[in-house]
Amino acid sequence: MTNWILGEKFNETYPHLSGVKALWETKWQLPCKLSVYPFHGGSLQDFQPIFEKLIKDNVNDAYSDTYTEYFLPTARKLVDEAMSVQGSDRKKAIDLFERAAVVFRISRFPSVDGGDTGFKRKIFEEQIQVYLRGASLWDAPMKQVIIPHTTATAQDGKEIPLFVRIPNGASSTNKCPVVLLITGLDGHRPDNTGRSDDFLKRGWASVIAEIPGTADCPADRRDPLSPDRLWTSVLDWIRAQPGLDSSRVLAWGLSAGGYYAIRLAHTHHTQLLGAIGQGAGSHHFLGREWLSRVDYHEYPFTLSHAYIKKYGYDSWDQLLENAQKDFSLVNSGLLDGPCCRLLLVNGTWDGLMPIEDSILLMNYGRPKEARFYEKMLHMGYPPANQSIYPWMDEVMASR
């Protein structure tokens, strides 16, 4: 058995997994109160009554349609309130639309494909429309852009939906740098307002894309090479936009998206100034031993069902047998090749993506940069951004 840096916690079952009451009281209530991940932009006054009802009715299966339904009256009431004031109080309307979008977000956890009825996916589509309605009121709006997947093969979809936010005044004579934000397993295009705000303050554009096997990403979830085609199409599109500076592009992969940022840093190294793999997996995270305990760590719910859907296997046993062979970046051979600047950030007690997956990258190719937070959980939050943004500022300023 591996001597994981996670230590004895590897074999623990984390307390929030005993049911929705424990989830709310031990894990989610404080982030909701502080309006931080995954409740950024949300409000405790919206969520407290919802979770009280879930607890009272003993609804513990977040993959079920029943769980999702508890959130919808609150979300739709907020939308109605936003629409009633958008002509008279734009600021209030923006806040209400954002709160509604966050309620929709938590309702469709942990996977838009998690159920068998397609209901969560419909709610995700409703979230997108609500989010974009609110974002259209911003001074620098977030817009959805559907681009052609020009390098698609037969098993890929033919269109790539992106969320794009460009600073006012960007033009062919005043091009702005770009952050390609690569989302994760459950955080998708409409879940990144705070990051896009941070980019906008720096004069950077946001291009937000989802990863294979999640949300609306068209890339073939079973093909390990499909992300390479996906990013070629996205980067080609960026290069063709008159207001975007394709010579100054950073990629930032979040959680499951960190794997794709690492891969992109190698496959498209000449087209990036740098990449960030935050909370990233690379090899061990898909090994049988690690996966045997992944349902028992800090993810809010069991993770295995979402993984089966994401990677396109028929069963958990099939995933255990094949996922590491199919998707390991070590096995791919890419890591020995050229790479752009690559920053790795995570907590040493990450129970979803082992810190070993960031450390082992130091053994391959170009020297990497890293900041690991002792005894912090997945993604290295809350202090992680104290390392990420200064690094981004430095790299963007290098050209």
Whether 149 is catalytic is no
DSSP state of 215: T
C-alpha triplet 69, 71, 74: angle, nearest 5°:
125
Mean pLDDT of the chain: 96
The Cα–Cα gap between 76 and 100 comes to 7
Task: Give 182-207 pLDDT, tens digit per residue.
Answer: 999 999 999 999 999 999 999 999 99
Indicate the domain borders of the chain.
Answer: 18-137, 140-399
The Cα–Cα gap between 50 and 26 comes to 16
The Cα–Cα gap between 81 and 100 comes to 10
Choosing from 350, 357, 358, 387, the catalytic residue is 350
Choosing from 196, 255, 282, 387, the catalytic residue is 255
Whether 350 is catalytic is yes
Task: Give 342-393 pLDDT, tens digit per residue.
Answer: 999 999 999 999 999 999 999 999 999 999 999 999 999 999 999 999 999 9
CA distances from residue 106 to 67, 71, 110, 137 in whole angstroms, order as listed: 10, 8, 8, 23
Whether 283 is catalytic is no
The Cα–Cα gap between 230 and 152 comes to 7
The Cα–Cα gap between 42 and 51 comes to 14
One digit per residue, the tens of pLDDT, for the chain of length 399 reads: 789 999 999 999 999 999 999 999 999 999 999 999 999 999 999 999 999 999 999 999 999 999 999 999 999 999 999 999 999 999 999 999 999 999 999 999 999 987 778 999 999 999 999 999 999 999 999 999 999 999 999 899 999 999 999 999 999 999 999 999 999 999 999 999 999 999 999 999 999 999 999 999 999 999 999 999 999 999 999 999 999 999 999 999 999 999 999 999 999 999 999 999 999 999 999 999 999 999 999 999 999 999 999 999 999 999 999 999 999 999 999 999 999 999 999 999 999 999 999 999 999 999 999 999 999 999 999 999 999 999 999 999 998
Choosing from 266, 268, 283, 378, the catalytic residue is 378
The Cα–Cα gap between 155 and 226 comes to 9
Superfamily of domain 140-399: Alpha/Beta hydrolase fold, catalytic domain (3.40.50.1820)
- Three-state secondary-structure class, residue 163: strand
**In terms of pTM, does the model score above 0.85?**
yes
DSSP, residue by residue, 178-205: EEEEE--SS--GGG-HHHHHHHHHTT-E
The Cα–Cα gap between 300 and 20 comes to 9
